[in-house]
Structures are given as C-alpha cells and as structure tokens.
Amino acid sequence: MASLSAINQFPYKSVFFSRPLQSNPPKISILLTKPTIQFRVWRAEPIKTKHVGKVRVSADDELGPEKEGPIGAVTVTEEEKPKEVIEIDCLKKALIESFHGTDRGLRATSEARAEIVELITQLEAKNPTPAPTEALTLLNGKWVLAYTSFAGLFPLLSRGTFPLVKVEEISQTIDSENFTVQNSVQFSGPLATTSISTNAKFEVRSPKRVQIKFEEGIIGTPQLTDSLVIPENAEFFGQKIDLNPFKGIITSVQDTASSVARTISSQPPLKFSISNTNAESWLLTTYLDEELRISRGDGGSVFVLIKEGSSLLTP
C-alpha cells in the first residue's frame, strides 16, 4: 500500500497502441508543463484540469532518432480571467451603453446621469493604474470624448448655437514625450468641414494630477465639399416638392463651390496666441487603462474618453 500511495502522487496517462509491438519498440516520452491531471485510485475521471500536457512518441525506424511526432494531446480548459478583470470589463460595457442617446452628455436625463455617475464611481474604485502620471505610455495618444458633465462644452454641442453645423468629434491628443496636449473639435456643415484646436503644455503635479497651460489656438482650413447630393423630392409641411427643376441651379452652385474649395484649401490654418490669465487648468485622471480614461477637471466636471482604435468606439 505504501508503494501504491507513492505512485499515486504523480499524474499519469495511459497510452495504448493498436499496432503489434516491434522488435525495436518506440520510445515514449511524456512532456508535461505542470502537473496536469490528478486521479484518485477509486475514480476514473479527472478531478481538475488546468494546463496542457502533450504526449509524444518517437521511433527510430519511422521518425528518426532526433524527431518527435505528436500522438495526441490532453485537451484542457484555459486559465480563466481574474475576477477583477471580468468585473471591470462588464462595468466599462455598461458605462458605454449608458451614453446612448445622451449626445456626449448634452441630452442626458437626470436618471441617465445618476446611472453614469454610479458606474464611473465603481470604475474609479477598481482603477488598474493608481498613478496615471507615472504611466505616460498609457496616457499617450488620441482620446475621443464619449461623455462629459462640463457645461462649457454644451454650447458647442447644441445646434442652436451654430445652425446647420454638427460637431463630428471632440478629442484630446497627448504627446507624453514632449508634454503637450491638443484639444480639437471637428465641425461639419452642408458645404464644408473644419476644426478648432488649442495647443497646451502640461506639467505633472502629483501621481494623478497635471497642470495644463494653453498657448495657442488654431482654426483649421475649411474643406469645402466638391459636390452636393440633391434628392428628387423633398417634404415640406406634409407636401412633397419636386426638386428636379432646381438641379440646374444646384449644379452651378457646385461648380462655384469647387472653385472656392481649391482656393481656400491652399491657405494655411489660422493660428492665434492665448495669453490671458484664464489659460490654465488642471486635470485629475481617476481611471486609466489601454482603452478608457476618466478625468475630472475644474468645478468637479467629469470627462470619459476612449482611445482611438478601441472597440468601445464601435456603436
């Protein structure tokens, strides 16, 4: 019984061959990365499986003395993700879903804001990067704004301020090597697209906080559309209006717009310096990973940004 108990401490796997034994029997070796399967004497099924163990055989008369050929492998389950990582992934997905219909926070209801604040608080408590300013490689790159409570941005998002103009994207690009930040807003209209940006320098003040000083603003060169797609009819106060008679006029406008577009697009962007006393602010990063960043600014405003290229940006 003592010998049986000693043998039972080691995992084993039986290998059966259907062909008859040869005079020069194959050499069998079992390669195991870690103890893979444990058996008890009175049970035939494995108790727990975690790692992969491979069984290989080599025969001098078939594969050569230096070669090994796989006979089979023990199929096992992969290591599960840590519970903390699974919880964070679920919270991030729930947070992104809660932004639906809020127009980056402009049209968020009180109930939606309460849900968003709760999810943000839970994510901040599980922050995988407790010292973001010491992980500048994670901060580096372009971040697209998904949600904010900062009322100063709401006039830009509201079409009442700029009729027929839509905000396509608000982003922040961080260059951690040169300690620069560029905030950019991209606009689109019926005839042109353009952008307004600000360039700033930042200084690290604590493991989570940076001080930002704005230096210049940039108005991008408008890019006029070369053509307009005109429908055959339009609905006006419940009645359909045939637009075919107006296509000749529209074609003339298109030709003029193309000429103007070529002239304007050759001009450099307009830059202007920012030197007033209110050109500084601070930013506190309270959550950071490879694809999501949560920051808090002046007045308790919150910003949720997604890294460019992340699957979280996909609707």
DSSP string, 83-123: HHHHHHHHHHHHHHHHTTTSGGGTT--HHHHHHHHHHHHHH
What is the pLDDT at residue 55? Answer: 40
Long-range contacts of 195-198 (CB under 8 A, 24+ apart): 195/219, 195/220, 196/220, 198/274
**pLDDT (tens digit, 9 = 90+) per residue, 26-50?**
554 444 444 444 444 343 444 444 4
pLDDT mean across residues, the chain: 75
| CATH 2.40.128.20 domain residues, the chain | 132-221+268-313
Of residues 137 and 315, the one with the higher pLDDT is: 137
What is the pLDDT at residue 217? Answer: 92
The number of beta carbons lying within 10 Å of the beta carbon of residue 178 is: 9
CB 126 within 8 A of CB 288: no
Among 44-48, 145-149, 188-192, 251-255, top mean pLDDT goes to 145-149
What is the pLDDT at residue 184? Answer: 95
What is the pLDDT at residue 300? Answer: 85
Q: By mean pLDDT, which of 197-211, 247-261, 292-306 is the weakest?
A: 247-261
What is the pLDDT at residue 141? Answer: 96
Tell me the mean pLDDT in the region 73-89. Answer: 69
For the record, the structure tokens of 36 come out as 């893979």
What's the CATH class of domain 132-221+268-313?
mainly beta
Residues 140, 132: Cα–Cα separation, whole Å: 11
One-letter amino acid of 61: D
Contact residues for 215 (Cβ-Cβ < 8 A; gap 6+): 199, 200, 201, 273, 274, 279
- For residue 224, the SS3 value is strand
One-letter amino acid of 253: V
Tell me the mean pLDDT in the region 7-17. Answer: 46
Q: How far is CA 295 from the centre of its chain?
A: 16
What is the pLDDT at residue 82? Answer: 86
What is the pLDDT at residue 72? Answer: 45
Of residues 13 and 123, the one with the higher pLDDT is: 123
Q: Which helix (H) or strand (E) holds 143?
A: strand 141-148
Question: Which percentage of the chain shows pLDDT scores above 90?
Answer: 43
Tell me the mean pLDDT in the region 232-249. Answer: 61
What is the pLDDT at residue 56? Answer: 44
- For residue 222, the SS3 value is coil
- For residue 169, the SS3 value is strand
Tell me the mean pLDDT in the region 109-121. Answer: 96
Q: What is the pTM of this model?
A: 0.65
Please list the alpha-helical segments (H only) found in the chain. Answer: 2-7, 83-98, 110-125, 136-139, 154-157, 247-264
In this prediction, residue 15 has a pLDDT band, given cuts at 50, 70 and 90, of very low
**pLDDT (tens digit, 9 = 90+) per residue, 249-300?**
656 666 666 666 666 666 788 888 887 767 888 999 999 999 999 999 987 8
What is the pLDDT at residue 35? Answer: 47
